[in-house]
Structures are given as structure tokens and as C-alpha cells.
Amino acid sequence: MSTTALLGEAIEAVIMASRVARAVQADLDAVREITKDDRSPVTVADFAVQAIVAMELQRQFRSPLIVGEEHAGALRKDDQKEVRMAVVKAVQSELPSVSEDEVLDAIDACDHDGSADAYWTLDPVDGTKGFLRGQQYAIALAHIEKGEVTLGVMGCPNLPSDHSRPLDVADSIGTAYAATKGCGAWEYDTSNPNGDTRPITAPTYENGSPIRTCESVEKSHSKHDDTARILEHLGVQSDPVRLDSQCKYAVVARNQADAYLRLPTRADYREKIWDHAAGMLIATEAGAVVSDITGRALDFTHGQRLEENRGVICAAADLHPQIIEAIDALGIAAATAG
């Protein structure tokens, strides 16, 4: 099947899942009351989104191979009945006729190991804490063929469609992004996926200008001190925007940041493919450059993890080599070599 046909189905699945995730996030307290667990809303959203995307792909494609983050084993246990019922109810808001068993089976169908020549990879709710704070999170779906990401779709239900609005505030409309290899990247409103699409273009960087950076909110996800050292080495100032999830790729792709830095916090950590595949393609198709901290392209040929990469740098094309040079000069890559 052509990439164009795959893209249309991927967009439809992600938009449907975005509606479900948005509804769960809008009713956090009610979900917590039912399940008696403060973190249960994001659990419900994770499982419901994975089920919906899997069922939509199964509806269109014969036995699609999907690398997913969630498994329904724990959800099937008796002590998880309330969470399970909340998941089924969330899925049924979009697919009224599906049964509990169909929902659980769809979740468990996302068990591929990333070894096939072609498969999908899904992060159902990327940005757990952002979701719980009522801020940024993403639903990220990508198609990988022979180790190359050929298609990426990302739903960002809270990312402002108005680029002049603050990035850390939830939006009532939200945005979605799509890209196919060699065909550019574009943005559209989550509430109107059939409306006009907007091509997006990553920034160009003028030497000596302040660098607009974005990085993870959680210090455990990226070494913030090293980001400050890099900027000091480059002799520029920056006030980093911190937000959760692959939304950061979109922020660079749509020219609201010059760079997204995800610097390793320990030598043995390897990034998971579902955390980067969709966002990486959207950013590169918009004109940004994405690599690991040594300047090496992200390598999706090793299953579920980026085994040959450390960290991620996404930046404007003319800024990217300067950041890599700074990382090398400061010994950051050597210090985190495994």
C-alpha cells in the first residue's frame, strides 16, 4: 500500500484517539473518583488510545505489526476492574459496539518487537506528567520500513494552534502534525482534520542571536545543567521553554524554538523508538536536523530501542553543527559514553 494511503488512515486513527485522550484529561477528577488512584486517568488514556489506534489500523490493514508501549496483562486482573471498565468506556465513546475482550485484545496486539521489514510504532500518551498537569502531551504514531521512518503523525491536543500563545498553557483546539519521507511536514487543527493544512518550516538561525531552546520538564529526562553549559560555550543567551512529550519536535518544526536538546542523564540509557520516530520525521521534513549527541543519525534498525544512539539533538540546520561542536568541546559525549 502507498505511503499516502497509510498516512490517511494514520491521521484518522490519531485524531480519533486524540478526542478520547482529551475527554479523559478533561474529566480527571471523575476518573480518579471511580478508580481510587491519582495516576489512573493517564493509565486509562494510555490503554484507550492504544486500543483505538490498533483497532483502526486492524480495520484497514491485514494483521498490522505494531510496536506499542502498553500491555493489557495487568488490566485483565480482578483488582483492576474499575480501571478496565473506564478504559472500555473511553474506547466506546468513539467505537460504541466494541466489547471488553476486543479492547483488551487490541491493546495486546501491539506486541511486535521491531524486527520486521515494515511495522508501526505507537506512543499512546507521551508526556505522562504533562497529561496529569493538564498541559502538553502527544499521541505519536510512525511507520518504519527497513529501518527508515517513512511516515509520522502526532496529535498534540493541548498545543496552541495560535503560535503566539504560551506553550505551557492548554489550548481549546489543539494541533496535529503529519509528515511523509521526502514530502514535507504540515500542521492542522485537531478539531478540524479535514480543514486546511498548514505547511510548517523549521527556523533558520543567525549566528550570535539568542537561541530559543526547549527541553523536558523532568530533570530525569535530560541533563539541564549540560544544556546551560552548551549555551554558555556558544556565547548566547536563552531562557529554555520546558514542556513534556514529543511536542518539542513540533515546536522546533513550526519555528517556535531553534533547538530541542535531550541530553543523556546516564551512560547506559537508550531511547525507545516510539518516543522519537514520529517527532523526528516531522521535524526533519520541516527542515530541522535531528541526530544523537555525537551527530549520528538516529538508527531505527535495532528493534525497540535506539541502541546505537545516545541522547537527541533537534535543531535548525545551521545551528545543529554548532551544538554538536559544543558538546564535543565540553566532553559531554565522552562523559556519557557507555
State how far Cα 323 lies from the chain centre: 23
Q: What percent of the chain has pLDDT over 70?
A: 96
Residue 128's alpha-carbon distances to 56, 84, 189, 274, 298, in angstroms, are: 23, 19, 22, 14, 24
Classify residue 257 by its DSSP letter: -
Domains 3-199 and 213-335 share a fold: no
Per-residue confidence (pLDDT) for residue 47, from 0 to 100? 95
Burial class (CB within 10 angstroms; exposed 0-12, middle 13-18, buried 19+) of 3:
middle
How would CATH label the architecture of 213-335?
A: 3-Layer(aba) Sandwich (3.40)
Average pLDDT of span 273-294: 98
> Domain limits of the chain?
3-199, 213-335
Residue type, 301: T
Q: How confident is the model at residue 4 (pLDDT cuts 50, 70, 90)?
A: confident
pTM of the prediction? 0.94
Q: Which residues are catalytic?
A: 46, 128
Architecture of domain 3-199: 2-Layer Sandwich (3.30)
Three-state DSSP state, 170:
coil
pLDDT tens digits along 37-79: 777 888 999 999 999 999 999 998 888 999 998 999 989 999 9
Cα separation, 148 vs 181, whole angstroms? 9
Per-residue pLDDT of 295-334, as tens digits, reads 999 999 999 999 999 999 999 999 999 999 999 999 998 8
Predicted confidence (pLDDT) per residue in 195-245, tens digit: 678 999 999 999 989 999 998 876 655 567 888 899 999 988 777 888 999
Torsion of CA 143, 149, 150, 155, to 10 degrees: 60
Coil, helix or strand at residue 279: helix
Cα–Cα distances (Å) from 304 to 233, 270, 301, in that order, read 34, 10, 9
